[in-house]
Homo-oligomer: A and B are copies of this chain.
Amino acid sequence: MNIDLDAQMAFLMEADRLKSVQRATRLADGSRVENSAEHSWHLTLFALTLADHAPDEVSIDRVIRMLILHDLVEVYAGDTPIHGIASATQEADEAAAADRIFGLLPASQGAAFRALWDEFEAGQTRDARFARALDRFQPPNLNLANGGGSWTEYDVSEAQVRARVGTRIERGAPALWAWLSPRIAAFFGL
């Protein structure tokens, strides 16, 4: 008997459902929409690769841990598209989902994972701000690669992109926003 390992494996198998949560963003080749599990992997690779563009004192390993966990609540609460309309109960739904998914773990580990997720959601620490910047930085790059993607589908204007993703990217990763901003301008200027 290994009660902790039984609980951890139940958590890991439930987490498998994140592979079936569809996002609004399409893959770089446009062939289909991305799911939240492969999106989470892509973000960890962004963090590892773009570490030298993070503000000082950001811990990339903590950022990676946050990104591994950041979308897990979607297993129950679903994805809320950046350019879609959030339900009135989204925040409460996600908090309830966090209780449920992290509640599968042994108590102290569940609390530690929940604390990392809460930190990400609050966006107040440097690590969380960088993690959240990457979460907003990846989709525009996929849209630019596939010729418009969710911008075209949701009929999004340049001003809306700047408000919905630019603000958060600039706050957590100004160097990445300086690189992306003219590319967004060029796309919408076509």
Q: Which A positions have Cβ atoms within 8 angstroms of B?
A: 2, 4-5, 8-9, 11-13, 15-20, 27-29, 31, 34-35, 37-38, 40-42, 44-46, 48-50, 52-53, 61, 64-65, 68-69, 105, 109, 113, 141-142, 145, 175-176, 179
Contacts and interface: CB of A to CB of B under 8 A. Distances in A.
Nearest to A19: B38
Contacts of A141: 9, 12-13
Please tell me how many copies of the chain the complex holds: 2
B46 A68 contact: no
A27 B34 CA distance: 16
- Is chain A's binding surface mostly helix, strand, loop or mixed? helix
Given A2-B175, A45-B69, A48-B69, 6 more contacts: A13-B28, A13-B145, A16-B42, A20-B27, A41-B44, A48-B65
